[in-house]
DNA sequence: TTCAATGCAAAGACTTTGCAGATGC
DNA sequence: GCATCTGCAAAGTCTTTGCATTGAA
């Protein structure tokens, strides 16, 4: 192995894909881009930029936030990574290897844990709704908000703080 | 009509609900809260704070942004208004009167138009997925991203900019 | 009168941008 | 070598917070 091909020990087997994408686009394959991509490719779950940054630090890499943001933009554009917005006020990123793209999420409103769920029916539903509106569907995202099993077991209850039946009860 | 009951001309018939909620919670019913709520109740679609602010200016109201944010928080808590995050980098608000809560959205990736869609199947699916994971579902949100009919007619095409088949094509 | 809300401006959190120096090709 | 990237810091955007003043009850 040459130094160029194995600059990163235990690099993700998917890293070459990103290299190829960069070359296809005429973009330089820099060390920073490779390391950032590798962190994302070798992590599971939904990473925030802050989490990516701290994993880089664990590896002894000192890469500026701006570079991380710029690299994430390219990764998303490449189709190798997807970004999510769960309403935390910042984006989260997830690589698309190793499983069918899962876009169904159970989000706990109490502990903010996000659980991935797989279901083929949503795919079908997406097609049906899109067709009905002349819409060309590319991807979907289903979020179900509520309480996870752990929080329920911990005694947390789901309280609806609003009015019981607004429309029927004009005083 | 007393001045108190009709401070706002052509006020939304739902305004009294918000007044009642405030009293229930022991919160003062202020002019600002009423006007902000009325703007939201009498508008359709998904309003950003900036849009709310400009509609207030059109009415000749001069209400600080902080007050708008604080009022929106209460409105969401009251259950009369729902907040959305379509990934624009800011929240949007929608009152829940006049129709079933619609949480299915077709989002055009080109012109960013959001179309509401109604479908009962999603409700059923939510229950099913939640049950399967011991999750207590409160609400859901289904976003389908793609190209709207108008943009398609306008010649916009949905291009996948990434690699054709990443996992099978490691070079 | 008394407690809370308002409005302003400052601070905060996340993200983007500008530019001098470094690096890929 | 030339174009592009990187890293830092500054700026930008949306949102929250602190505090003196105003207002509801």
For residue B82, the domain's CATH number is 1.10.10.10
**Percent of chain B surpassing pLDDT 70:** 82
Question: A51 to each of A40, A70, A153, B84, how far by Cα in Å?
Answer: 10, 16, 29, 25
Answer with the one of A81, A97, A113 that is the final residue of a domain.
Answer: A97
**A136-147/A104-108 β-pairing:** parallel
For residue B150, the domain's CATH number is 3.30.1490.190
**B136-147/B104-108 β-pairing:** parallel
Give the residue with greater pLDDT, B167 vs B28.
B28
Residue-wise pLDDT for B38-67, tens only, equals 999 999 889 999 999 999 999 999 999 999
In this structure, the answer to whether residues B120 and B41 fall within a common structural domain is: no
User: How far separated are the first and last CA of chain B, in Å rounded?
Assistant: 78
> Does residue B2 register a pLDDT over 60?
no
Over chain B, what is the mean pLDDT? 83
Locate all alpha helices (DSSP H) within B25-83, ordered by sequence.
31-41, 49-58, 65-78
Evaluate whether residue A92 is within a structural domain.
yes
Answer with the one of A69, A97, A125 that is the final residue of a domain.
Answer: A97
Task: Identify the pLDDT of residue B108.
Answer: 82
In this structure, the answer to whether residues A81 and A127 fall within a common structural domain is: no
Burial class (CB in 10 A: 0-12, 13-18, 19+), A43: middle
**DSSP structural state of residue B168:** G
Task: Identify the pLDDT of residue A7.
Answer: 63
Evaluate whether residue A169 is within a structural domain.
no
In this structure, the answer to whether residues A151 and A88 fall within a common structural domain is: no
A42 touches chain B (CB under 8 A): no
Question: B29 to each of A59, A122, A149, A168, B21, how far by Cα in Å?
Answer: 55, 44, 39, 21, 9
Q: Return phi, psi of residue A121, to 5°.
A: -65, -30
Separation of alpha carbons A94 and A40, rounded Å: 7
In this structure, the answer to whether residues A130 and A142 fall within a common structural domain is: yes
In this structure, the answer to whether residues A90 and A114 fall within a common structural domain is: no
> Does residue B162 register a pLDDT over 70?
no
Evaluate whether residue A130 is within a structural domain.
yes
Answer with the one of A49, A75, A97 that is the final residue of a domain.
Answer: A97
- If one counts every other C-beta atom within 10 angstroms of the C-beta of residue A130, the result is 19
pLDDT string in tens for chain A (171-residue length): 444 444 676 778 899 999 999 999 999 999 999 999 999 999 988 999 999 999 999 999 999 999 999 999 999 999 899 888 887 889 999 998 865 666 788 888 777 788 888 888 888 888 899 999 999 988 788 888 888 888 888 877 765 444 444 443 433
State mean pLDDT over B5-19. 78
Query: Between chains, do B115 and A133 touch, taking CB under 8 Å as contact?
Result: yes
Which residues in B lie closer than 8 A to residue A160 (C-beta atoms)? Answer: 79
Evaluate whether residue A162 is within a structural domain.
no
Evaluate whether residue B164 is within a structural domain.
no
Mutation target to probe the B interface, by most B beta carbons within 10 A, among A14, A78, A111, A138 is A138
Query: Between chains, do A145 and B142 touch, taking CB under 8 Å as contact?
Result: no
Contact residues for A112 (Cβ-Cβ < 8 A; gap 6+): A86, A88
For residues A72 and A82, is the Cβ–Cβ distance under 8 A? no
Domain containing A135 equals: 100-156
For residues B130 and A110, is the Cβ–Cβ distance under 8 A? no
Give the residue with greater pLDDT, B61 vs B116.
B61
In this structure, the answer to whether residues B93 and B26 fall within a common structural domain is: yes
In this structure, the answer to whether residues A65 and A24 fall within a common structural domain is: yes
In this structure, the answer to whether residues A45 and A75 fall within a common structural domain is: yes
In this structure, the answer to whether residues B148 and B83 fall within a common structural domain is: no
Residue-wise pLDDT for B135-151, tens only, equals 998 878 888 888 888 88
CA of A25: nucleotide with nearest C1': D4
Strand partners, B81: B95
- Single out the residue of A96, A42, A138, A24 nearest to residue B166, CA to CA: A96
Task: Identify the pLDDT of residue B7.
Answer: 62
CA of B4: nucleotide with nearest C1': D24
In this structure, the answer to whether residues B3 and B74 fall within a common structural domain is: yes
Question: A76 to each of A79, A82, A117, B113, how far by Cα in Å?
Answer: 5, 5, 22, 21
In chain B, how many domains are there?
Answer: 2
Task: Identify the pLDDT of residue B101.
Answer: 62
- 3-class DSSP state of B164: coil
Which secondary structure element, helix H or strand E, spans residue A73, and what is its range?
Answer: helix A65-78
Length of chain A: 171
Evaluate whether residue A18 is within a structural domain.
yes
In this structure, the answer to whether residues A9 and A84 fall within a common structural domain is: yes
Residue-wise pLDDT for A21-68, tens only, equals 999 999 999 999 999 999 999 998 899 999 999 999 999 999 999 999
Evaluate whether residue B169 is within a structural domain.
no
Distance A93 CA to D14 C1' (A): 21
A169 touches chain B (CB under 8 A): yes
State mean pLDDT over B72-96. 91
Contact residues for B161 (Cβ-Cβ < 8 A; gap 6+): A77, A78, A79
In this structure, the answer to whether residues B122 and B86 fall within a common structural domain is: no
Separation of alpha carbons B73 and B82, rounded Å: 10
Evaluate whether residue B165 is within a structural domain.
no
């Amino acid at each position: 192995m040459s130094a160029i091909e194995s600059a990163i020990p235990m690099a993700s087997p998917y890293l070459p894909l990103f290299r190829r994408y960069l070359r296809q686009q005429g973009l330089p394959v820099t060390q920073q881009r490779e390391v950032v991509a590798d962190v994302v490719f070798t992590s599971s779950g939904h990473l925030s930029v802050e989490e990516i940054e701290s994993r880089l630090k664990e590896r002894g890499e000192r890469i500026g936030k701006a570079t991380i943001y710029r690299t994430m933009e390219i990764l998303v554009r490449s189709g190798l990574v997807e970004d999510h917005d769960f309403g935390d006020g910042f984006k989260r990123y997830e690589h698309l290897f190793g499983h069918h793209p899962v876009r169904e999420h159970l989000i706990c409103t109490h502990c903010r844990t996000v659980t991935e769920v797989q279901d083929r029916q949503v795919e079908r539903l997406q097609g049906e709704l899109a067709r009905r509106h002349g819409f060309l569907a590319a991807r979907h995202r289903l979020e179900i908000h509520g309480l996870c099993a752990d929080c329920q077991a911990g005694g947390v209850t789901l309280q609806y703080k609003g009015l019981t039946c607004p429309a029927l009860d004009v005083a």
